[in-house]
Amino acid sequence: MSAEPPLPSPPPLQSPVRPARSSSRTGVFIAIVAAVTLLTAAGIAVGVAVVGMGALKPTAAVPRPLTQLTTVAANRGAVVFSDDFHDSRSGWTTETLPSGTNFTYAATGYVIVAKGSLDHYAASPYRRPVQQVAISVTATQSSDAPAGAGYGVSCWRGADASELRYDFIVTTAGDWEVDRRVGGTPAKPVILQQGKSTAVLGSAPVAVQGMCAALADLRTIRLVLFAGTQKIADFTDTAAALPDSGWLPDLIVTSSTVRPSTVTATRFEVRDLAR
């Protein structure tokens, strides 16, 4: 299926770095006759304080990168970005694509009215590359959506001819696909795996999650697809090279010329699988 490119979104607002608190110093006059005794005691106290501070110093979280054999669950990793679409200034596009597909914030969530037999992308406001990323969207699908309509997520890295992208899509008919595009969204997708799932897209929210994990050799990519808590695909792909420093996330909606369909997203989440 051909695709409409994602519209660019601005980076999220960043809070200024909190300045380090400077400590004050107090001078103390010490009588010469007590200098030796006090300095000795102070030396012991300082030694104890240093040991104590070392014991209380927080330890950084040890990265736990995925391997080809790591068991993964849908909730693995630390959340690095999430959006429930209640803030219309959170950075998602509200423009209309050439097909007539439009994106709007509403009281119910982020609403995409999709038209044509196309894949439509909305670029996430989160723009910090992650080497091993999990991306999920929780959404509902309009009840009159044709069988080929659906939604999912997309991870990508690189630019122009070097762009590498993986799409994870589930449709109203229960079909699912994991596709690869090389050279940007205009490139024809290659279906890597596809099948049927028991996930039912409709009025009840369903989370579709895709994982793109670059393994240690930086050529092998582990790809995992969840629909709800059900893992429906888990395999690896090999790339000649992995451009840039990590994956970036997009939301993807697929539609059909039979009639327009509406997807209402209520949560979008990005996790770092190695944390």
Q: Minimal CA–CA distance to 129: which of 249, 242, 267? A: 249
The H-assigned helical ranges of 70-184 are none
Q: How far apart are CA 96 and CA 104, in angstroms?
A: 9
Q: Where are the chain's structural domains?
A: 28-59, 64-272
Specify the pTM. Answer: 0.79
Q: Minimal CA–CA distance to 254: which of 148, 98, 96? A: 148
Q: Sign of the CA dihedral 239, 241, 247, 249?
A: negative
Q: What is the pLDDT of residue 5?
A: 61
CATH number assigned to the domain covering 64-272: 2.60.120.200
- 225 CB-side CA count, 13 A: 27
**Phi–psi pair at 106, nearest 5 degrees:** -145, 170
Q: Sign of the CA dihedral 172, 176, 182, 187?
A: negative
Structure tokens at 248: 């970036």
118 contacts 181 by C-beta, under 8 angstroms: no
Radius of gyration of the chain (CA): 25
Cα 110 to chain centroid distance, Å, stands at 17
Q: What is the pLDDT of residue 241?
A: 86
Say which DSSP state 85 is in.
Answer: S
Q: What is the pLDDT of residue 7?
A: 52
The H-assigned helical ranges of the chain are 35-56
Q: How far apart are CA 165 and CA 153, in angstroms?
A: 11
Q: How far apart are CA 120 and CA 211, in angstroms?
A: 19
List per-residue pLDDT tens for the chain, 275 residues long: 777 766 554 333 222 222 222 222 233 322 333 333 433 444 434 343 333 434 444 445 567 899 999 999 999 999 999 999 999 999 999 999 999 999 999 999 999 999 999 999 999 999 999 999 999 999 999 999 999 999 999 999 999 999 999 999 999 999 999 999 999 999 999 999 999 999 999 999 999 999 999 999 999 999 999 999 899 999 999 998 899 999 999 999 999 999 999 999 999 999 999 99
